[in-house]
Amino acid sequence: MILLFRRLATTWTATVPILAVAVLALAWGRTIPPVVVVIAALFLAASVLAAVHHAEVIAHRVGEPFGSLVLAVAVTVIEVALILSLTVSGGPAASSLARDTVFAAVMITCNGIVGLSLLVAALRRRVAMFNAEGTGGALATVATLSTLSLVLPTFTTSSPGPAFAPAQLAFAALASIVLYGLFVLTQTLRHRDYFLPVESGDHAEPPTTRAAAGSSALLLSALVAVVGLAKVESPAIEATVRAASLPQSAVGVVIALLVLLPETLAAVRAARRARVQVSMNLAFGSAMASIGLTIPTIAVASLWLKGPLLLGLGPTHIVLLGLTVVVATLTVMPGRAGLLQAGVHLTLCAAFLLLAVSP
């Protein structure tokens, strides 16, 4: 019976990404009826589950922290492509889309994914254990990148509005690349032990090289389907946002929620296996990759994009970001956390989502 379930899981996780890409190809660039919107949404959800499965196969083969790094970077690269595509096609109305999506990614990862992971681990084992050294370094990098890219534009005076002057934007882009590169070097080579799980968790034989290669191709297909179908769904999302009289920034929040689903599910499943450090790697690594790859890409794209590039956060979001950094620091420093810390992070995530729809 167990073997049968494994075969079924292998079959559908291999089939869904291919079918989802086919649906994406048929729906791309067309005005689609409501029935197709629903079908695309179903394939979007199935592709998320398939992406998580294949990411776990790859992670099991290459080991940590490479596994979480692969998923975070793969998702973020395609997320950046989605942001760029929507920014180019959206005109002046999309001038703040990059800011809204990146900030939503930071809040969802640092509060939502961290909170859910700590909650699952604490419910199963009372206390969630992780490495304070590696997680603290990741948090410091996220806080620095967030401040340089999303807070400073609000206070600079060289350019009108919450936007950087060209030289300032170039510095923020360069700093993002350098800091993210230093973090990856630290995570994978110089201090890899800082990012390994504290507890042993579950053990099983790693998949073969052939299986991991197949999962790599299917993971890429699933992620392309996730982000592509999210773009296909974006007109329906924008129409729903307008019909509900929600602020335009809610579009960026919905995009971030959709794109971060694979990391969220993978982090929660890792926490259930007492591998909370993997969850932390996914959460902070995704936030870091979102900033470190989006800001340089948007900086280059700004050379031909028309209109201002609004990156600076408003007062409410700056307060939320500052509180998130303080709370996350207090959570990370001891190297262990419980239900209280999980509740605090989830409350901050809920406050962000509430203020996104009701500012």
- Asked whether residue 16 is domain-assigned, the answer is no
- Asked whether residue 213 is domain-assigned, the answer is no
Q: What is the pLDDT of residue 68?
A: 67
Q: What is the pLDDT of residue 65?
A: 67
What CATH code is carried by the domain that includes residue 160? Answer: 1.20.1420.30
Which sign does the torsion angle of CA 24, 25, 30, 31 carry?
negative
Instruction: Say how far apart CA 169 and CA 162 lie, in whole Å.
Output: 12
For residues 104 and 38, which has the higher predicted lDDT (pLDDT)? 104
Domain count of the fold of the chain: 1
- Asked whether residue 53 is domain-assigned, the answer is no
Widest pairwise Cα distance in the chain: 67
Mean pLDDT over all residues of the chain?
82
- Asked whether residue 182 is domain-assigned, the answer is yes
Q: How confident is the model at residue 341 (pLDDT cuts 50, 70, 90)?
A: very high
Region 228-255: mean pLDDT is 76
What secondary structure letter does DSSP report for 337? E
- Asked whether residue 211 is domain-assigned, the answer is no
Q: How confident is the model at residue 2 (pLDDT cuts 50, 70, 90)?
A: very low
Residue with tokens 């699933």: 222
**Max mean pLDDT range (4-13, 20-29, 39-48, 165-174):** 165-174
Residue-range definition of the domain harbouring residue 167: 69-204+227-357
Among candidates 151, 141, 163, 159, which has minimal Cα distance to 316? 151
pTM as predicted:
0.81
* Per-residue pLDDT at 113 exceeds 80: yes
For residues 240-272, one letter each, b for 16 or more C-beta atoms within 10 angstroms of the residue's C-beta and e for the rest, the string is: ebeeeebebbbbbbbbbbbbbbbbbbbbbbbbb
Q: What is the pLDDT of residue 8?
A: 47
Instruction: Indicate the burial class of 112 (C-beta count within 10 angstroms; 0-12, 13-18, 19 or more).
Output: buried
- Asked whether residue 170 is domain-assigned, the answer is yes
Tokens of 168: 């300032």
